[in-house]
Chains A and B, each alone.
Chain A
Amino acid sequence: GAVVSQHPSRVICKSGTSVKIECRSLDFQATTMFWYRQFPKQSLMLMATSNEGSKATYEQGVEKDKFLINHASLTLSTLTVTSAHPEDSSFYICSASRVQDTQYFGPGTRLTVL
């Protein structure tokens, strides 16, 4: 149990375009989903936390107008990188959890912006 999927696994886009990444909890209802960014050889950096039906809470320094998060159901959250630029290239990971429970992670999405 506790499987989280992420789609796509890799995406390459042109500068200025928008990219949507989906995160799904496949076998449980996730009250909370998290979005992380990971640079090479570094730890995970939390970008935002989202609860189903509520606005996401963004960490300091993360532009909420650039990284749009929607948590429309208990099994789906999306991250949209708007007007992507090369500096947005990174590895994005989502996680999902029930209240007061362990976070289970998706396999990640490698975004490359040309």
Chain B
Amino acid sequence: AQTVTQSQPEMSVQEAETVTLSCTYDTSESNYYLFWYKQPPSRQMILVIRQEAYKQQNATENRFSVNFQKAAKSFSLKISDSQLGDTAMYFCAFMKRIGGSQGNLIFGKGTKLSVKP
């Protein structure tokens, strides 16, 4: 069974600074996806970034980038130039590829990020 671990329950960062959120996972699968979702106080889950395991290049989306280390099963999220609107719960998630069907998301327990002015 796959597991996702986020070892930092809470983190804080000053506005405009950079912060890195950690995520490790355990799987015997070779084909899978990894995601970071954010959940602000509104509780709407928002996709931040997605990484396909077969791609060696780290995914980036504007101020958000990942450090994907497949051998180490690590998938950290770096937020640059942190903004107050980045304050949210961040969930790391794993999804395995299952032929032509849709896999389930396995979520970590989340990291609560607070951006301070």
Interface positions of A (Cβ within 8 A of B): 31-32, 34, 38, 42-44, 46, 49, 51, 91, 93, 95, 97, 99-105, 107-108
Contacts and interface: CB of A to CB of B under 8 A. Distances in A.
B25 interface: no
A103 B105 contact: yes
B100 interface: yes
A104 B50 CA distance: 12
Contacts of B37: 105
Contacts, number: 52
Given A43-B109, A102-B35, A32 B102 contact: yes
Contact of B43 (A46, A99, A107): A107
Among B45, B46, B107, find the residue whose CB has the most chain A CB atoms closer than 10 A.
Answer: B45
B45 A95 contact: yes
Interface of B: 33, 35, 37, 42-47, 50, 91, 95, 97, 100-105, 107-110
Contacts of A38: 43
Given A31-B102, A43-B91, A49-B102, A100 B97 contact: yes
Given A32-B102, A99-B101, A100-B97, A43 B107 contact: yes
Contacts of A91: 43
A49 B107 CA distance: 15
A49 B104 contact: yes
Contacts of B95: 103
A93 B107 CA distance: 14
A107 B42 contact: yes
A112 to B, nearest CB: 15
A43 B110 contact: yes
Contacts of A32: 101-102
B105 A46 contact: yes
